[in-house]
Amino acid sequence: MVVSVLHFVLDLPDIGSIKEKRQIVQSVKGRLQNKFKISVAEVDLQDSWRFAEIGAAVVSNSKTYGESVLHKALQFAENFVPGRIRDTSIFSEIY
């Protein structure tokens, strides 16, 4: 079993409230979950207006497949998010 993990930080400089940020984060999470069938969560920086830390994971039988799905998900998020994506990482663990 291979667990592949995506981690990135959303930088949302034009956000004026936590409510606005949460709407964007929920939208990003929902779109990634629906389009790529991966698990997605806001893992840190919940109280920050400007930043959101997002984690996503997929379980598969191949490191190549799992990381490929997450690279596509990251590219989709980069095109969809109204802010900037930074501090990205993708890695896999074999169990």
CATH of residue 45's domain is 3.30.70.1120
Q: Which domain holds residue 11?
A: 2-94
Is this structure's pTM higher than 0.75?
yes
As given in the structure block, the two tokens for residue 9 are: 């930080």
Domain count, the chain: 1
Reported as a single tens digit per residue, the pLDDT across 8-32 is 998 888 888 888 888 888 998 999 9
Backbone dihedral region of 87: left (phi > 0), alpha (psi from -120 to 50 degrees) or beta?
A: left
- In the prediction, which pLDDT does 66 show? 92
- Split at pLDDT 50, 70, 90, the class of 83 is confident
- Split at pLDDT 50, 70, 90, the class of 70 is very high
How do beta strands 2-11 and 84-94 pair?
antiparallel
